[in-house]
Chains A and B, each alone.
Chain A
Amino acid sequence: MGLIMISRRKALRAGAGLAAAATIGAPAILHAETKTLKITTWGGKWGDIMKDTLLPMFEKEHDCKVSADQAFPFLPKLQASSKNDPLYDVFHTNSNEQWSAVEQGLVLDKITAKEVPNIADVYPWANSDKIVGVAIFTSAIGLGYRTDKGITPPKSWKDLADPKLAGARGGYLIPVNSLGQCHLMMLGKVYGKGLQDLDAAYKALEQLKPIKLVDFTGQMEKMLLSGEVSEGVIHDSGVYRYEGANRQPVDFCSPTEGVMALEQVLNVTPGSKVKELAFAFVNFMLRPEVQKLLAEGVWYSPANKKVKLDAKYDAKLLTTPEKVATLIQPDWKWYNARKDDIDARVTKILKG
């Protein structure tokens, strides 16, 4: 297979060279000895692991360079670049942006085990019909809470509406934060007929006022740590990753109604000039040892079923079919289609 790949790569390169010779400004491609894979990736601890360990490893394995963009906003940059020569080969974002991207034809619909063999080993959620591309990790969106403020540990999403939490509960600016968007859908399910029952969700949202709103997830983490918020919507990683030196009395609750999935999704751009390499990268990211390193680094639940995490992580992350069954995946295609209306409505509700 390696042989075939090399010959195909050569063919691709030759093709690209011919095409380049016919156009202006292409000598850069002709002279490129090593290929460059352009990806987006997160910053923070994740970014450190990528830059320090995983990207060098991948570069060595594939004799290539990886240019990792950590500067937001990824989607507008991809949009602005040419589809035939996209700014990124591998597009890493949360699921909601992947859906926007696929509708504009910026990324592939689906990646299968044919292109990425490791997909054969992923949990169903990682390439379900709610996912474009393939998910490599997920977080569980639930409730984070202080254990030192005398509040009853929450069990249900409804517990966030406890009048005692007035002004001490935390949520998001829904138009800009996908955790806030997930929360809104969850309100529809908990208080109404289902995830898409927006009327019930709006009504429930109204009941959560007064509520402290943030735009970054990191801000919610800090507000819980500093005690500014006693209970708030957050992903499990945002609580668990602070164990250790700065341990604060904060815990995470997976509500009985289920947790919302915050998937880390990889996808490949159709116009990529190094598609083979792009798929290889996705495959690499699904490799059990890579998955384990990142999962334990940032407390994300891995997509690959074969990953064996250390006991500490295994206990808290979604690593068994039973635990995975509590994961609810939002329908972003449905949500994105209504986003403008929803934004207008929630802004009005939360303004007061």
Chain B
Amino acid sequence: MSAAVNKKPFDLGRTAYLGLNLVLLAFLLVPIAIVLVFALNPTPYISFPPVGVSLRWFVKFFEGGDFMRALWLSLWVAACVLVLSVVIGGACALALARGNLPGRAFLTAFFMSPLMLPAILTGLALFQAYLLAGIGRPVWGLIMAHTLVAVPYVLRTTLAVLHNFDRRIEEAASVLGASPTRVFFEVTLPLIRPGVFAGGVFAFIVSFDQFPVSLFLVVPKGETLPVVLFNYMKFDLDGAIAAASMVSILLALAVVVALERLIGLKAYVKL
């Protein structure tokens, strides 16, 4: 009997669904595979089939002073952006969801607006504003600019969590004797944390990969990795670019995995 039940007839829909997923996965992963091949290829141009395996481009990347300086700067900036956008975006989301503010829809749209604007314009506008204000282009200016475009991500994810938030949970805490401050730290914050940090992960990556906003805001010897790579590409289009891309991908992945482990985003998927 069980054999008859288990032997499912050919299901076209299911097969098509599986096929589509495989195609999508390939679409996402094949470019990365090509980058990897290029990164390990000893010639300074893509030769196909590869003529060998070499780590020379990784060596070039890690020994390149410009690359390393840019990598550290990018990591530092992204870390600051992560912290700032989590604080600002989280606070904004709370105010928007809970604050009973007049013109809430407008304010939400306003805070989300950096996503609507082409990032290159944001960069250019800030560049001009900074020059006009006479502050030059300090690193904190770059961090502020990245934060500006990263906050909407935190705002979005936090608002989503707040939207599904059962406020009775906070009421339960207060009726049990928790003051509003304690309710916030004991209940509200832990419960919105997955949303806030999911946004934070986005913020980190948005900053770490940020090119258009950085383009105008970096200074000589203070370029972020994407800017350095872009300019490197114009003169030396070799495997070091691919090696740098692999390192970036792995670093971004490592940060996401580390944050996941640290904060355990999965722990409260069910709210």
Contact = CB atoms under 8 A, between A and B. Distances in A.
Are A and B direct contacts in the complex by CB distance below 8 Å? yes
Interface of A: 24-25, 38, 42-47, 67-73, 76-77, 80-82, 85, 87, 216-219, 221-223, 225-226, 246
A115 B237 CA distance: 37
Contact of B45 (A45, A71, A225): A225
B235 interface: yes
B220 A69 contact: yes
B232 interface: yes
Contacts of B228: 71
Nearest to B237: A218
Nearest to B135: A25
Nearest to A227: B47
Complex A-B, nearest 4 residue pairs according to Cβ-Cβ distance, in ascending order: A44-B235, A222-B45, A25-B134, A218-B237
A67 B216 contact: no
Where chain A touches its partner, the secondary structure class is mixed
A71 B227 contact: yes
Contacts of A70: 220, 223, 231
Contact of A82 (B131, B220, B221, B236): B131
Contacts of A42: 235
Interface of B: 43-48, 124, 127-128, 131-132, 134, 215-216, 218-221, 223, 227-228, 230-238
A71 B46 contact: no
A25 B234 CA distance: 37
Given A25-B134, A42-B235, A225-B45, A80 B220 contact: no
Given A25-B134, A68-B220, A218 B236 contact: yes
17 contacts: A43-B232, A44-B234, A44-B235, A45-B236, A71-B228, A71-B231, A72-B230, A73-B215, A76-B216, A218-B235, A221-B45, A221-B237, A222-B44, A222-B237, A225-B45, A226-B45, A226-B47
Nearest to B214: A71
A57 to B, nearest CB: 18
A67 B221 CA distance: 8
Contacts of A25: 134
Contact of A218 (B127, B220, B233): B233
B215 A80 contact: no
B227 to A, nearest CB: 5
Contacts of A217: 234
A217 B44 CA distance: 15
A278 to B, nearest CB: 16
Contacts of B46: 222, 226
Contacts of B219: 67, 69
